A = this chain, B = another copy of it.
Amino acid sequence: MKKHNFSAGPSILPDSVIKQAAAAVLNFDNMDLSLVEVSHRSPQFDAVIKKAQKLVLELAGLENKGYEVLFLGGGASLQFLMTAFNLLPEDGKAGYLDTGTWSTKSIKEANILGEAVVLATSKDKGYNYIPKGYAIPSDLAYVHVTSNNTIFGTQIMDFPKVNVPLVVDMSSDIFCKELDFSKFDLIYAGAQKNIGASGTTLVIVKSDILGKTGRTIPTMMNYETHIKKDSLFHTPSVFSIYVSMLYLQWVKDLGGVAEMEKINNKKADLLYAEIDRNPNFIGFAAKEDRSIMNVTFTLTDESKKDKFEKLAQEAGIHAFKGHRSVGGYRASIYNAMPIESVQALVDVMKAV
């Protein structure tokens, strides 16, 4: 049976990407060698990473605008630390918007290397909304936000306007909709939600913001190390980068980010309409901040839990339980999720 994969990450990939990835593990680029037994410095892999970098700039509309594209190890969790190492002077302050678990973790790392000023937080309501109208002090080295909160199902619609570098963790919503990406100075995103498999993290950085802290940065923590070596300072996760290249090409072939946005809006609208229509369900996130990537909701009557979950299982709905800190349900409907799977979930919701 075809599964409807609502996993929050690692998560669904396009079928064509999975098939191409599996084929390359057996024989990469007609080399009679597996993708994973070829040097990362071979011309064949060099073409892969260069193509992935080019696709990122194309999809973001950032070609020839001073941005560098990196694929690094360690996940977004390592980026919480790297952003602070590269942008925060030892006696410096940075502004952080606290919109949930991942923001909190990034604040923790900045406080190890300097001072993180919390601009605003939605902790008072269990992170079910995005704070707005907060003041931004003038003495910050940078401002950091999490664009989409996987666990709580909220998403920033309007980014803060700042005169310092704007850093965004886009792990769970990169390339889900059109944005003026040139507003951002540093974007990072673990690949395993919207642009590939786990094991690599995309970093898009405007190089002129780097090298200004006066801090001695350990080699692997320094974006400039990786920029100089084009993401090949050390052996990267070859398979993961290959999968991201395939995924980004799939987005491009589909019509790019504009088309992706149309599809994502249709999927989100379908699911939120059912949550709002069906008295058995209630959404978790404030309506104006609802994420089009992670849809969080719960039953209004817990006695229907067993029936709902049994019907879902019979329909092949996979991994739609809410995060333990929120409970209820979470449907992650990332870029690769087909609308048919969302319809399958809606059909089950109607049948409860």
A198 near B236: Cβ-Cβ < 8 Å: yes
B198 near A237: Cβ-Cβ < 8 Å: yes
- A-B contacts, 28 listed (Cβ < 8 Å): A3-B32, A5-B33, A5-B37, A7-B37, A7-B38, A8-B39, A9-B39, A10-B40, A10-B235, A13-B36, A13-B37, A18-B37, A22-B25, A22-B26, A36-B197, A39-B319, A73-B199, A74-B234, A77-B219, A78-B220, A80-B219, A81-B218, A81-B220, A198-B237, A198-B239, A199-B199, A199-B238, A199-B240
A109 near B190: Cβ-Cβ < 8 Å: no
A10 near B38: Cβ-Cβ < 8 Å: yes
Sample of 13 further A-B pairs with CB below 8 A, known A73-B78, A78-B220: A12-B37, A13-B34, A18-B25, A18-B37, A22-B22, A76-B234, A77-B219, A81-B219, A198-B239, A199-B200, A199-B237, A199-B238, A239-B240
CA distance A25 to B221 in the complex (A): 31
A10: chain B residues within 8 A (beta carbon): 36-40, 235, 238
B77 near A234: Cβ-Cβ < 8 Å: yes
CA distance A97 to B75 in the complex (A): 31
A112: chain B residues within 8 A (beta carbon): 216, 218-219
- CB-CB contacts of A20-52 with B at 8 A, as 1s and 0s? 011101100001111011111010000000000
In the A-B complex, the 4 residue pairs with the smallest Cβ-Cβ separation, listed nearest first, are A199-B237, A73-B73, A77-B234, A36-B197
Q: Which of A110-156 contact B (CB under 8 A)?
A: 112-113
A291 CB within 8 Å of chain B: no
Q: Which residue of B lies closest to A336 (CB)?
A: B37
A318 near B218: Cβ-Cβ < 8 Å: no
A239: chain B residues within 8 A (beta carbon): 197-199, 239-240
A351 CB within 8 Å of chain B: no
A75: chain B residues within 8 A (beta carbon): 73, 234-236
A237: chain B residues within 8 A (beta carbon): 73, 198-200, 237, 240
- Copy number in this complex? 2
B81 near A221: Cβ-Cβ < 8 Å: yes
CA distance A10 to B81 in the complex (A): 28
- CB-CB contacts of A198-242 with B at 8 A, as 1s and 0s? 111000000000000000101111000000000001111111100
CA distance A283 to B319 in the complex (A): 56
A19 CB within 8 Å of chain B: yes
A216: chain B residues within 8 A (beta carbon): 112
Interface residue tally for chain A (C-beta within 8 Å): 64
A26: chain B residues within 8 A (beta carbon): 18-19, 22
Query: From residue A214, how far is it (CB to closest CB) to chain B in Å?
Result: 14
CA distance A319 to B190 in the complex (A): 32
CA distance A33 to B234 in the complex (A): 31
A12: chain B residues within 8 A (beta carbon): 37
Q: Which residue of B lies closest to A192 (CB)?
A: B235
CA distance A105 to B78 in the complex (A): 20
Given A10-B36, A13-B37, A108-B219: A74 in contact with B74 (beta carbons within 8 A): yes
A273 CB within 8 Å of chain B: no
A103 CB within 8 Å of chain B: no
Q: Which residue of B lies closest to A112 (CB)?
A: B218
